[in-house]
Amino acid sequence: MNLIIDVGNSYVKLAVFKDSELLEKRVVLLKAVEDEIDVLAKHYLDLDNVIISSVGNLDKLTIKSISKRFNVLFLDSNTKLPFKNLYSTPKTLGVDRIALVSGSIKQFSEKNVLIIDAGTCVTYDFINSNNEYLGGAISPGINMRYKALNNFTAKLPLLDKEMPKNIIGNSTEASIHSGVVFGFLKEIEGVIKCYKMKYSDLTVILTGGDAKFLSKQLKSSIFANPNFLLEGLDYILQFNSNE
């Protein structure tokens, strides 16, 4: 069994996989990660291999404790990957993007794939049918756009995201929702269109925290998978365990 540890600034995602199947997923506070790992280890006795993503946010004692108990792979730019990385600055490529591209190899090997991760930022990552990663784009996410309107103006309020009922906003709040959400959707649709002009057989995957919010508004040909990053991390762990 594999344990995935995806470390954020304040929270950690823990996921247990067996033979590529996600058995359990938890989101915990950074300070509680060791206690939660203890709980999972007692429940899943065959838990032995671990991958840690974004290791920089874990303290040294926690890392040492985990390393004593499990076979640990620390994901970084030197990790062996199941694809050819043609990014011109590979050491600056985020581990989250590495995981997403690896997930696409697992499910859509030898296909042209665009992965859209709609989280704090929205990232676009493209891998071609030769399993070559070419790069992509980074843009502000939905919540970041709402916050920017509030932070960089004197009077615009900070709103929670909401699907607009009409393209024409008949109030300040409705106008903000229309501008942010429809603007975001049109950006995604426009990026997909540009890629499809060059790669007609394109497979598109939508993931990230806002995937569910957006998926109903986008075309059904897009594969929505909120756990795609975790699945990619599991595949990287499998790939290195089989070396």
Of 74, 97, 112, which residue sits at a domain end?
74
Together in a domain, 109 and 180: yes
Residues of each annotated binding site for substrate: 87, 94-97, 172
Residues of each annotated binding site for K(+): 117
pLDDT digits (tens, 9 = 90+) for 147-168: 999 999 999 999 999 999 999 9
Of 74, 103, 123, which residue sits at a domain end?
74
> Does 239 map to a domain?
no
Together in a domain, 216 and 99: yes
Residue with structure tokens 């991390």? 233
How many structural domains are present in the chain?
2
- Give the model's confidence band at 31: pLDDT under 50 very low, under 70 low, under 90 confident, else very high: confident
Domain that holds residue 60: 2-74
pLDDT for 49 beyond 90: yes
Together in a domain, 42 and 92: no
Q: In what order do the strands lie in the sheet with 132-140?
A: 84-85, 132-140, 121-127, 113-118, 203-207, 223-224
Of 46, 74, 102, which residue sits at a domain end?
74
Together in a domain, 127 and 223: yes
Instruction: Report the CATH number at residue 187.
Output: 3.30.420.40
Question: Where does residue 95 fall: left (phi above 0), alpha (psi -120 to 50 degrees), or beta otherwise?
Answer: alpha
Residues of each annotated binding site: 6-13, 87, 94-97, 117, 120, 172
pTM above 0.75, yes or no: yes
DSSP 167: S
Together in a domain, 46 and 159: no
The pLDDT value recorded for residue 111 is 95
> Does 241 map to a domain?
no
Distance between CA 118 and CA 161 in Å, rounded? 13
Together in a domain, 209 and 146: yes
pLDDT digits (tens, 9 = 90+) for 57-98: 788 888 899 999 999 999 998 999 999 999 999 999 999 999
Q: Which residues are catalytic?
A: 96
> Does 21 map to a domain?
yes
In three-state secondary structure terms, 38 is: helix
